[in-house]
Structure 1
Amino acid sequence: MAAAVLGFLSSRTSASITPILSLLILIFLGKTLFPPEGFFDFYVGTRLFKIILLGGQKKPIIHHFAYTLSNVVGMRELKHTKSICPECLKVLDAVVFEENNIVYIKKECPEHGFFQDIYWSDYDLYERAKQFDFVGNGLENPRTTIKNDCPYDCGICPQHKSHTALAIIDVTNRCNLRCPVCFATAGTAGYVYEPTIEDIKNMLINLRNNRPVPADALQLSGGEPTVRGDLPEIIKMAKEIGFKHVEVNTNGLRMASDPDFCRTLEEAG
């Protein structure tokens, strides 16, 4: 019944008045005459798309009204921040907000439209984690410069405000699996990336030269690091250079089938 009444009014009003006025009518009716939880947001998010489309509005405006305005009621804004468009990587203004104890982030790209994602799945946990948020002074000796600003510049540039908590080095892009969901496309890239042990040594020294906090935790990743025959040497070299913690990001296949290899890694550090 509610959907029928609102559908009738929206089809009549959109033909004679502006889409925005149609929106106001729907908001009033949806929140006063038909208040069941969830109905209004569902209805506006689907029906309003058609109403504004009839009014000749462009796609970003459609997304703006259909998603952003429909979530005003019950939404608690937490902070404004910056994000990027997942399609074109353009830097966008973004809003972090809480609704139904879930923290979301929303943003809108002029070209690709509206995006909304879960930022934290639990608001209470988000609040607890905020006490550990720390902004430092960054590096005293950055080795990269600011050219195109974040997120386009690579490396720890002068704008970074924290030290390297865990350095990650991809020692290969080869892999002994072909997982279809691999975010690194390991083993299927069409080329082999595998820095020499001398290249890796230079990377490690560079990380240890960070000031005021030298990197002291390292992850060897890939690809699958255990396909390298010199992996134990790399681990030993990292410990000798000064890394206190060295971990290997592995699928575990070689370790499960070769106990002696596991002992070799343990002895390496």
Structure 2
Amino acid sequence: MPNTVGTQIARTFDWVLCKAAGITFDTIQYFNKRNPNPSVTPKWSDKPLLKSWEKSKPTLGFPRQTDSLCPACVKEAREAIIAGKKDWRDLMHEKVGEIKAQIIERDGQVWMVKDCPLHGHYEDMMAVDSKWLSWIERQYPGRDIPAHNDEDLHKHGSSTVRYGRGSVLTVDLTNRCNMMCDPCFMDANQVGYVHELGWEEIKEILDNALKIKPRRQMSVQFSGGEPTMSPYFFDAVAYARKIGYNSVQAATNGIEFAKSKEFCKKAFEAGMRYADLQFDGIGNDANSHRQIGNLFDVKLRAIENMHEAGIEIVLVVTIVNNVNNDQVGTVVKFAMENPKKIAFVSFQPVSFTGRDEDITPERRLRQRYTLSHLAKDVSNQVGKVEPRRDWFPISFVSTFAGFSDMVKGQDSQWGSLSCGCHPNCGVGTALMINKETKEWAPVPRFLDAVQLTKDVTDI
């Protein structure tokens, strides 16, 4: 009986406390909205932090019209520039290859449809589930501070970065690679020449990135080809950390890391934090399209060596429909079974560029894999994860970056890492895993993420 009475008293007290806190919070917000404090201008930006209602958004929903490219026009323009028949500076002033596209809903799916006056009709799937894409777009928090102090660097015509700083600075150190596989976005080892950055060029890229404002933290990703083949790989990692970037990573096939524990140790000591490890599935058969018979064994050795050295590992899985989409669940389960070694899993739906640029329309449709496919496959192959509850645009986390910026104050030298990419660009979810028992659950299952971001925004 005493326990029952005590429990009732505790529940009543908890209810009163929560109610009082809610009323107090709402009262403060009432006056804040009518007499808001002026926005802070931190040292890392010449423009003030944006209030939530000041953030702009692109046109979302469907049907809608957007700017797109004709793939044939793009290829012709590139070949003309390489052949010296066209000036590359034309890309800054002319809308080379640009055409309008319509984003429409068709049979519960979302498609992009466009017509080029020279090359005809194109269409491609954007989402297999229109309701899922609507959910994702509704969670977009808005754009970051307009980019500034960037006039000498952001000169890319219609593709010029106009908002924020981005979240990843990718530096292609070399187009050389110690593999010859498909898919390859870079078309490494196939173009007939070696393009490799010298040391002064690497420093210039990293130094220039510091000039652009807002000066936010970014993940500096060294890529290629295979970045570990660059003679400046360790120096580049160390220099990126030296000038202030705290998240330095390498997009790698893992071969050099598998071959040598000393290589892993040297990379970690230079400042490498993450390895974005190419990882197409579980078992050698699932990796056979990479043309190396024991590639999965190589991946396992690389994981062991890098973990021992202190490098955090991100499994990066390029998903091709009807090739390895059946591996989504097994890869997620592999990561959940190794939570002390695997920090994240990054699925990259195939992009038909580089070595796969000239595929037929039939193959494109057959192998197209969208983010909505991924949400559906994770749900079906892993369980528990609900597509329209547990997935959010990557830019969803920018709300928390804004809160962090406010807490750090105007004297901070760096803004927080903030991804403001379009909601159609990337999505993510989070799983809470007990590293000892391996029990797990999607975080949105027990935490109302939408309400949390609303509360953080109000603060």
What TM-score does the superposition give when structure 2 sets the normalisation length? 0.38
Question: In structure 2, what is the equivalent of residue 223 of structure 1?
Answer: 225
Q: How many residues align?
A: 188
1:79-94 matches, within 5 Å, as 79-89=64-74, 90-94=97-101
CA distance in 2, matches of 1:244, 1:189: 34
SS in 1 for 2:157: coil
Question: In structure 2, what is the equivalent of residue 123 of structure 1?
Answer: 130
Question: In structure 2, what is the equivalent of residue 134 of structure 1?
Answer: 142
Question: Closer, same or farther in 2 for the Cα pair 1:202/1:148, shift >3 Å?
Answer: closer
Matched residues, percent identical?
31
Question: In structure 1, what is the equivalent of residue 121 of structure 2?
Answer: 114
CA distance in 2, matches of 1:100, 1:111: 29
Deviations along 1:36-78, one digit per CA (max 9) or x if unpaired, are xxxxxxxxxxxxxxxxxxxxxxxxxxxxxxxxxxxxxxxx942
The amino acid across from 1:86 in the alignment is P
1:32-181 matches, within 5 Å, as 77-89=62-74, 90-130=97-137, 131-132=139-140, 134-144=142-152, 149-151=157-159, 156=161, 160-181=162-183
Question: In structure 2, what is the equivalent of residue 50 of structure 1?
Answer: none
Question: Closer, same or farther in 2 for the Cα pair 1:102/1:162, shift >3 Å?
Answer: farther
The amino acid across from 2:259 in the alignment is S
CA distance in 2, matches of 1:193, 1:148: 21
Equivalent in 196, 199, 212 of residue 214 of structure 2: 212
**Does the 8 Å CA contact 1:167/1:215 hold for their aligned counterparts?**
no
SS in 2 for 1:188: coil
The amino acid across from 1:190 in the alignment is G
Displacement after TM superposition at 1:187 (Å): 1.6
CA distance in 2, matches of 1:201, 1:183: 25
SS in 1 for 2:135: helix
CA distance in 2, matches of 1:147, 1:208: 16
Question: Closer, same or farther in 2 for the Cα pair 1:218/1:145, shift >3 Å?
Answer: closer
Displacement after TM superposition at 1:132 (Å): 2.0
SS in 2 for 1:150: helix
Structure 2 residues without counterparts, runs of 5 or longer: 1-60, 75-96, 272-459
Bigger-Rg structure (1/2): 1
**Does the 8 Å CA contact 2:101/2:112 hold for their aligned counterparts?**
yes
Question: In structure 2, what is the equivalent of residue 48 of structure 1?
Answer: none
Displacement after TM superposition at 1:179 (Å): 1.6
**Does the 8 Å CA contact 2:63/2:102 hold for their aligned counterparts?**
yes
CA distance in 1, matches of 2:215, 2:141: 18
**Does the 8 Å CA contact 2:145/2:214 hold for their aligned counterparts?**
no
**Does the 8 Å CA contact 2:164/2:214 hold for their aligned counterparts?**
no
**Does the 8 Å CA contact 1:208/1:216 hold for their aligned counterparts?**
no
Question: Closer, same or farther in 2 for the Cα pair 1:192/1:148, shift >3 Å?
Answer: closer
Question: In structure 2, what is the equivalent of residue 267 of structure 1?
Answer: 269
The amino acid across from 1:122 in the alignment is D
CA distance in 1, matches of 2:214, 2:228: 33
CA distance in 2, matches of 1:147, 1:168: 17
CA distance in 1, matches of 2:165, 2:127: 24
SS in 1 for 2:205: helix
Does residue 242 (structure 1) correspond to residue 233 (structure 2)? The answer is: no
Displacement after TM superposition at 1:175 (Å): 0.7
Question: Closer, same or farther in 2 for the Cα pair 1:139/1:223, shift >3 Å?
Answer: same
CA distance in 2, matches of 1:228, 1:88: 33
Larger RCO: 1 or 2 (CA < 8 Å, sep 6+): 2
Displacement after TM superposition at 1:180 (Å): 4.4
Displacement after TM superposition at 1:136 (Å): 3.2
Does residue 253 (structure 1) correspond to residue 238 (structure 2)? The answer is: no
CA distance in 2, matches of 1:203, 1:96: 36
Displacement after TM superposition at 1:123 (Å): 2.0
What TM-score does the superposition give when structure 1 sets the normalisation length? 0.64
